[in-house]
Amino acid sequence: SSSKLKKKATKTQEAKKILKKKFKVNTKIVFTEDGELVQQWPPVQKSSLANVDEEDEADGINLNKVKEILREEDKFDKEEYRKKIKEKHR
């Protein structure tokens, strides 16, 4: 009787299967007709510290480095937001 009953896969089990297959989920990339990148989600990190952090694979997460990276990324985000607001007001 146990062979007849199949257990339904839970969301976590399905997520683990996807991670094992190394699919890139929840990403969106938009190109123009010329093939130039218009928009990418999630946005790529622009700070130089983020690139250095990828190279230094340590045992765990270094919170101080992550805070610095987020501060730098925040500067870029604020600048983009200002540009967006200026375009809106024109």
Q: List, for residues 3-36, the tens digit of each pLDDT value.
A: 556 677 788 888 888 888 877 777 777 788 887 7
Report the phi/psi class of residue 88: left, alpha or beta, with left for phi > 0 and alpha for psi in -120 to 50.
Answer: alpha
What would the pLDDT profile of 56-84 be if each residue is shown by its tens digit? Answer: 555 677 888 888 888 888 888 898 899 99
Structure-token pair, residue 38: 């218009």
pLDDT for the residue 73: 85
Helical spans, DSSP H, in the chain: 11-21, 48-55, 63-89
pTM: 0.44
The CA distance from 16 to 19, in Å, is: 5
Domains of the chain, by residue range, sit at: 11-89
Residue with tokens 């007709």: 33
Whose structure tokens read 């987020």? 70
